[in-house]
Structure 1
């Protein structure tokens, strides 16, 4: 898999902790983090959209609490 297959998130800054995304087709989205590029999460547009909407709505904020 070449580097050109991946697009860096516009919200990622310089250095570590960058999110990369790649779409194999209209049904498969891959995500990886710059610190562990060999670990790839695979999902679909519907599930990713639901996750993003939940995060924006604050429904996942409790996951960051100690």
Structure 2
């Protein structure tokens, strides 16, 4: 699994951090998401998929 994050599309909702905190974080100054792990472990895959599905800006792309 590969994960990409389009920070320009991010609306700082925090859904990614709530669902996959080991993979995503948010910048303190504006809340924009930050990708911590572009190639997450299999045990994080479901959380990453959930984060992508719940992202209101569709800023997360998951490549299987």
Range of TM-score over shorter length: under 0.3
> Which structure's relative contact order is higher, taking Cα pairs within 8 Å and 6+ residues apart?
2
When the two structures are superposed, what TM-score results if normalisation uses the length of structure 2? 0.25
When the two structures are superposed, what TM-score results if normalisation uses the length of structure 1? 0.25
Q: Counting strand residues as a fraction of each chain, which structure ranks higher?
A: 1
